[in-house]
Structure 1
Amino acid sequence: MVAYQGLLEFDGNYQTPGQRRTRAHSGEGLDLMRVSGQGTVYLANLGQYVHVVDVDHDGLTVDSSYVLALDSGLHWEVVSVDSQYGISGTGKYQLNISGRGKVALMTSGQPLMLQVTPDKYVNADADAVVAWSASLRVQMQAQTHSSGVFRRRGNTGEGWELSFLGQGYALVQPSELLPPQNAVIGSGVAAQFGMGQQGARGQNQGNIFTN
């Protein structure tokens, strides 16, 4: 929260013992603050784009690092996503958000909402995927048969991709990097945006490869 107007109250959101145990085991969870009253709240994080998604009966699967806010009527739980090699777009655990309401997601740039239908599936770079309809079937495959794929994008310029099949949508951001708060960074706010000494290359040496 960066600012607000009106008569509002802010309270911490209670986590059940089960949620705390799950987070300790999986690393996934949400540190939430409950807002009530009448007024307007302005939310932001490191200058990222904020994209509001409507959640319906299909539900939404997303990494908790991308979640900024959600309606109090929505429910979330940690689910396991099969990812043998721990690709960032499909971490071993994700959040499954269910119910009816809105979720505010943070993205690096204006995201692309891709519709998935039974006769039109979608492929996307695993490092660019933000969220998808929970009802979709998801398959992971290498974009190349080069042995370099076992490093993140290796020497090929690409790495793993996700295939979405069924009826729903996939949300993709115009970036193949992790959220700023998850990146391996130097010091200071500027470093989180790849600025400072040696720029992005100096701050993300593990994410950049050259031929």
Structure 2
Amino acid sequence: MQSPLLDHTALVGDERFALQNPQLLRVALDGRAEVLARTGAMVAHTGRVRFTAWRPPRSQRNQQAGHGGWQGGPGAAQPAALDLMRCTGTGTVYLANLAQHLHILELQRDRLTITSNYVLALDAGIAWQAVGIEGGERISGVGSRSLELSGRGTVVVMTSGRPLVMPVRAGEYVYADADAVVGWSSALEVQLQAQSANTEAWRRRGTATEGWELSFTGDGFVIVQPSELLPPQRVPLR
């Protein structure tokens, strides 16, 4: 059989995380370390690989930091954290989610804040804590589902289309639509503000005017996608 379709054969390599193509992640498991991935993201695999539900240790579930910890004010409700599965064994796993564009980030003791809906996979050793944006519960975008990732290791982030990375410099402000923001350097100061006086602006795409935006100041960067819609998988809309 002949067809350009058959040119898209599986690539080979020893890298722990690599892109098969811009929308498909290849993960190599060596039988020692495990990888955490978004539940349901596996599209194919080879070898002896097991997929099991992941739950944070009981001692960490209510801590201020650690896997799945929540940082919020008095009486604040804990947001939904990552819905993950453990990938263990030996072989190759292919991960994807709704043909989203994928980006491999290497953390070197950095701190990065990412909206949880945009995390596809990460090393099991990376720690995270949920962080809230004041007033964020009023919008359907980043809201209170932002996670601060820290430590050393790899995290794979998704975007709807090719992202825009905007540098933020001290003394300057950068603004972005709250529904288009994917993540930012955790050292930045972030504030939520309304661009419209329309009381319906909090509803996703509920008006023809711009609604909520985030302002950033400090030293770092902001990741923005060319879409104001979150990946629909497992995303509750208000």
Unaligned runs of 5+ in 1: 185-205, 207-211
Please list the CA deviations of residues 162-207 of structure 1 after superposition, one character each: whole Å capped at 9, or x if unmatched. Answer: 11111111111110112212266xxxxxxxxxxxxxxxxxxxxx9x
Partner of 1:105: 157
Determine which structure has the larger strand proportion and give its number. Answer: 2
Partner of 1:16: 57
Give the secondary structure class of the aligned counterpart of 1:59: strand
Please list the CA deviations of residues 31-74 of structure 1 after superposition, one character each: whole Å capped at 9, or x if unmatched. Answer: 22223445432101122222222334341212221111011220
- Judge conservation of contact 2:188–2:220 (CA < 8 Å) in 1: yes
Partner of 1:143: 195
Partner of 1:166: 218
Please list the CA deviations of residues 60-115 of structure 1 after superposition, one character each: whole Å capped at 9, or x if unmatched. Answer: 21222111101122011222221256223331342111112221122211122222
State percent identity of aligned pairs: 49
Give the secondary structure class of the aligned counterpart of 1:57: strand
TM-score by length of 1: 0.73
Partner of 1:3: 44
Change (3 A) 1:37 1:126: same
- Judge conservation of contact 1:81–1:93 (CA < 8 Å) in 2: no
Aligned length: 184
C-alpha deviation, 1:149, in angstroms? 3.6
CA RMSD of aligned residues (A): 2.8
- Judge conservation of contact 1:9–1:37 (CA < 8 Å) in 2: yes
For residues 1-211 of structure 1, the aligned pairs below 5 Å read 1-17=42-58, 18-19=60-61, 25-83=77-135, 86-145=138-197, 149-152=201-204, 155-181=207-233, 182=235
- Judge conservation of contact 1:89–1:130 (CA < 8 Å) in 2: no
Unaligned runs of 5+ in 2: 1-41, 63-67, 71-76
Give the secondary structure class of the aligned counterpart of 1:97: strand
One-letter amino acid of the structure 2 residue matched with residue 102 of structure 1: T
Please list the CA deviations of residues 109-146 of structure 1 after superposition, one character each: whole Å capped at 9, or x if unmatched. Answer: 11222222214432111110011111111022222445
Change (3 A) 1:22 1:73: closer
